[in-house]
Amino acid sequence: MGIITSNYSGELDGKTSVVVGEDTYRWGEDRLLYDMVDFNVPTEGPSFTVNLKLSGSSWAVSVIRANINANFNITDATTGTSDAGRAYIDVLLAGGTGTSTITLKNAQVESLLAGNGVQKVTVGYWVNHMDLGGGNDHVVMTGGGEAENVILGTGNDTLTTDTGLMGTINGGGGADVVNLGKGGAEYVNLGRDADEIILSALADKELVVSLNGGERVLGSGKDSDTVNFTAFSARLTIDLNGASSVKTGSGEFHIRNFENAIGGRGKDTLVSNGEANILKGNGGADLFVFKTVKAATGDTILDFSQSQKDKIDLGGIDASTKSGGDQDFKFIGTAGFHNKAGELRYDKKGGDTFIHGDVNGDGKADFSIAIDANINLKASDFIL
């Protein structure tokens, strides 16, 4: 166990022995280091920073560990870029509670495990398994950097990918943001709390990505998840019910357990589900669809635009529960309800506009949709 009592700087290059405290780690003739390279800062004292440089090529280490009281910084200057020449680390443990910056350019890591500190991780090649613990972590996959399995942990984390294909991404707890690059992923589960995934046009236009927002909202905004298609210009249909995939022409996305949707720059259709949805169409003449009374209850439209010819589709709702068949709503503007089933009205309050529908004729709203703007609505703004 290499005990350090001050800040430390060292280098792993595949040939030079490494001294940590009173311990010396020596490379074998095969350029393998079987011992655990251990940076142990006594927990009863102050924390120290370990700066470790990786260099050279064609070497492998079993375990590199920094304990809970160490801030761990790694820079990767290794030169091997082929399977035979690459530097390999079987297990990399960064257990500190402070801030660690781990930059992996060419080295390959089998398992990267972190503690409850803040991890700033950059990956340029490959990490098989990454578990980032409880800190507010920041992960960037540069270029073709890839990972088979990423667990972001319980903090408020960000993950940004690039051209590399990711395997499984698990958000865990915390309010996470995943920026999915054009390499895509096989499966993304955002987990608990209010998360967002920001999508890119995929290089592989046939790739299907499964997206799961995680647990649904239960009376609060703590698990209100957002899927963001801002980068797309094609005409999209984003159905939050998960009934069908979102086909973009640059990848296909199967979405489920999302509460909020942001459309692209084209003429999009956004379909609400039975949760408290927040919908944003972005550019283009967008259609906001509410198929049931439940789906139209407690939702918010952020950017309804009459100039862009946006419309609100209530045609799937039977406007009158007192009449047979499927009835249309009657738009009555800002007038009050007249105790007649099928009336649709609106009012304004606090700079917002609220749409109310009465389907049973009791003179009370059975659903309400908010628009985050002060708008003079017309019948032509609706499909009734």
Report whether pLDDT(270) > 70.
yes
Confidence grade of residue 1 (pLDDT, cut at 50, 70, 90): low
Give residue 70's pLDDT.
83
Binning pLDDT at 50, 70 and 90, where does residue 46 land? confident
pLDDT at residue 96, rounded to an integer: 74
* Residue 214, pLDDT score: 86
| Helices and strands, number each (H, E), in the chain | 0, 35
User: Does a structural domain hold residue 108?
Assistant: yes
Residue 67 pLDDT? 83
Total structural domains within the chain: 1
Judge whether 225 lies within some domain: yes
**Mean predicted lDDT score pLDDT of the chain:** 94
241 part of a folded domain: yes
Q: Domain limits at 239?
A: 43-337
pTM of the model: 0.94
Is residue 371 in some structural domain?
no
Q: Is residue 23 part of a domain?
A: no
CA-wise closest residue to 242 among 215, 211, 218, 268: 211
A 10 A CB-CB count for 159 gives 26
Check whether 217 has a pLDDT greater than 50. no
pLDDT score of 218 more than 70: no
Query: Would you place residue 135 in the very low, low, confident or very high pLDDT band (cuts 50, 70, 90)?
Result: confident
**Predicted pLDDT at 11:** 98
Q: Does 56 reside within a domain?
A: yes
pLDDT in tens, 301-326: 999 999 999 999 999 999 999 888 88
pLDDT tops 80 at residue 156: yes
Q: Tokens 């375990």 belong to which residue? A: 63
pLDDT surpassing 70 at residue 117: yes
Find the mean pLDDT for residues 109-114.
Answer: 96
CA distances for 170 relative to 148, 156, 175, 185, 186, angstroms:
11, 13, 12, 11, 11
Cα separation, 151 vs 19, whole angstroms: 33
pLDDT at 215: 67
3-class DSSP assignment, residue 101: strand
